[in-house]
Structure 1
């Protein structure tokens, strides 16, 4: 029988061995994903410095070079590069964003920045789908490709940009317009997509462009009991009715199955402001002299912006009814050559064919290509005529971006790495002539 000191020594020995083994097991793609998710990059005060340091360490651990730019102080753009054997060929760019939207912690079943992994493999975290998953999958797929001795023909870049969730104006917009971006000579790019509840991967060839529309009406104030023409509220309500009819017409196309939601012009009221304030609310026997309404418009790339502006000026807010309006266009519908910002998803685009075959080589299937209903940083790259597809390899997954309890299943995260291995190797090996923008 062993003596107590010996038993204690053996016990400590096994504890140390167990901890060392546990530490080795923890250094996996899943745990690296969890580490990235735990950085609090939510607005209004995203922490960019810590995740950038983490990504730089990960990139350098697999032999990739890194550069960091700051086009706006405190808002870094990280560029990771895998040099190709023929760097004269146009490069491939994979983009993701560092920031995330806020999370109401009390409404989550697990803390939103804990990256808690349940027994059934669900990893809960803000950014799990949008879009820290692809930011890690890019690196993990390259790690696997390098371990197998694969060498790209074309140079591969990965960009991590700030501020996407609040418009990208201090992030990708400035990066894409910079000389540093021009020097990358990007021939094809990929950015984030969305999860698919079904068994087909979703892919996006365009974004809609947001317009903020504010309509104001003026009129002579009057007694609440008086009927007269051209009061501010009366004029505004005429416009509200016309806009509602337009919205209904667009929505009818969707309901009838003639267009997807992202293929029509959406118009949604977001606020109404009118009335004369009082200590108890509003003065009820007085018609106000000013009234205002705000709308969120989303225009698909095939929409005619000039025709839309004409409709607003002549029908929705005509000066003849003492009305004015303001449009804040948060992006472009046309690229630098005046073409709708859409990436072809047919044989006219060799990148599409390569991408499609690469996904299918992993046993995956692509759904019908879509226009994204909202917007991403992809628009700033497409604006220069660079073909770009939005893609996040998540199937059989509920769409939870910006929602409570956002999660991604561990097996789906690992499947995404496999898909990107195929995609990156195929795109970076393309020898064809596609030096011109599409």
Structure 2
């Protein structure tokens, strides 16, 4: 009911309905970064004012991804529960305990919080390892993130696959969509994808996933160029120079004028020794065995900042002490059980003490020591 003598005016003389309308308009719910949470809070408030029931239907996540809900089983839900806000706090709490105990390790322990790992690390660890401040740290060994382990054993990663992000440009003859036009960009793109799928023989070892396709301006216009992008993950056993030659051959076979460019192309294939004679690995594995932990050594399937650390000659392993936990990094309902989390602090406390107490040894090859 509006407009009549019974309507209530706000303190500013504006009709309350108009004020409410303007308040709602101020909420930034446009893409690419809509503030839906603010809109929900607004509607929650209105429902409460009017004593109306309200039900929110949300897909995928059981709880808000940033509220850190802990359920009756002690599972803590939130983005970063496994990857890797958990490990950050476990490191911090392990250091807190070591300091409280008055531990005096032989080596200095540095905690590094570095950005941009998820988008290639170009403005993060890749740049930092060349910085004089990094070299001053005099690092002998590094711990980085690992993965959860669904079983009883704990996975530890001594190397990782090289990420190659590649975009291939396919030029072709343009024309009207109603005509038979030969040698189009789309023909070449389809041929290239077919060659990629048919020629790959490395199976589970190397993965190639088409992630983006771009091109075209209208339904009835044949585009002069199309692009296709791939995410490649290549294990350290593959000859990278030979692999790129194969890519060039595929492009040549797919048609004339095809070119490609890399958004990311990591070429270093260093791995960390897992021989018992290696002092670092010996300290790591012996400490785990003393805690009755079964280790499974693997090559990391994705890419972490460890690749930049290994590239400058520093041994590094990826390890997140999260067994009996489904792998949910970047997934819906990412969670970590509180007992697994607390147990991980104990593990890191002992590992950090053991690794930081490794004495200097004559054959260390780290150029920064």
Q: 1:292 maps to what in 2?
A: 227
Q: In structure 1, what is the equivalent of residue 310 of structure 2?
A: 382
Instruction: Tell me how far 1:308 sits from its aligned partner.
Output: 2.0
Match of 2:337 in 1: 409
Partner of 1:81 in structure 2? none
- Is the 1:242–1:316 Cα contact (8 Å) retained in structure 2? no
Q: Please give the root-mean-square deviation of Cα atoms over the aligned residues, in Å.
A: 2.7
Residue number among 359, 367, 370 corresponding to 2:288 in the alignment: 359
Does the 8 Å CA contact 2:189/2:254 hold for their aligned counterparts? no
Going from structure 1 to structure 2, the CA distance change for 1:141 and 1:276 (only over 3 Å counts) comes to closer
- Name the structure 1 match of 2:347: 419
Q: 1:149 Cα shift?
A: 3.5
Structure 2 gaps, min length 5: 1-31, 34-57
C-alpha separation in 2, matches of 1:189 and 1:209:
19
Q: 1:301 aligns with which of 217, 236, 242?
A: 236
CA separation of 1:317 and 1:326: change in aligned 2, threshold 3 A: farther
Distance apart, 1:276 and its partner CA: 5.2
Displacement of 1:148 after TM fit?
Answer: 3.2
User: For residues 179 and 141 of structure 1, what CA distance do their matches in structure 2 show?
Assistant: 28
Name the residue aligned to 1:205: 158
Indicate how the Cα distance of structure 1 residues 405 and 224 shifts in structure 2: closer, same or farther if over 3 A, else same.
Answer: closer
TM-score (norm: length of structure 1): 0.66
Distance, in Å, in 2 between the alignment partners of 1:159 and 1:288 is 47
Offset at residue 209 of structure 1 (A): 2.2
Alpha-carbon displacement from aligned partner over 1:369-391 (angstroms, at most 9, x marks no partner): 11111111111211101000000
Change (3 A) 1:168 1:202: same
More strand by share: 1
Q: Which has the higher contact order (CA 8 A, sep 6+)?
A: 2
Query: Could you tell me which of 352, 357, 363 is aligned with 1:429?
Result: 357
Alpha-carbon distance, 1:224 to partner: 5.8
Secondary structure of the residue that 2:307 maps to in structure 1?
A: helix
Q: Deviations over 1:394-425 (max 9, x none)?
A: 00001111112211111111111111122112
| Structure 1, gaps ≥5 residues long | 1-42, 45-104, 255-263, 335-339
Q: How does 1:200-349 map to 2 (within 5 A)?
A: 200-221=153-174, 230-247=183-200, 249-251=201-203, 254=204, 264-275=205-216, 277=218, 282-283=219-220, 287-317=222-252, 321-330=256-265, 332-334=266-268, 340-349=269-278
Judged with a 3 Å threshold, the aligned counterparts in structure 2 of structure 1 residues 288 and 163 are, in CA distance, closer, same or farther, namely: closer
Please identify the structure whose Cα radius of gyration is greater.
2
Matches within 5 A, 1:43-82: none
Superimposed CA distance per residue, residues 28-57 of structure 1 (whole angstroms, 9 cap, x where no aligned partner): xxxxxxxxxxxxxxx98xxxxxxxxxxxxx
Aligned to 1:268, the other structure's residue is in SS state strand
* TM-score (norm: length of structure 2): 0.77
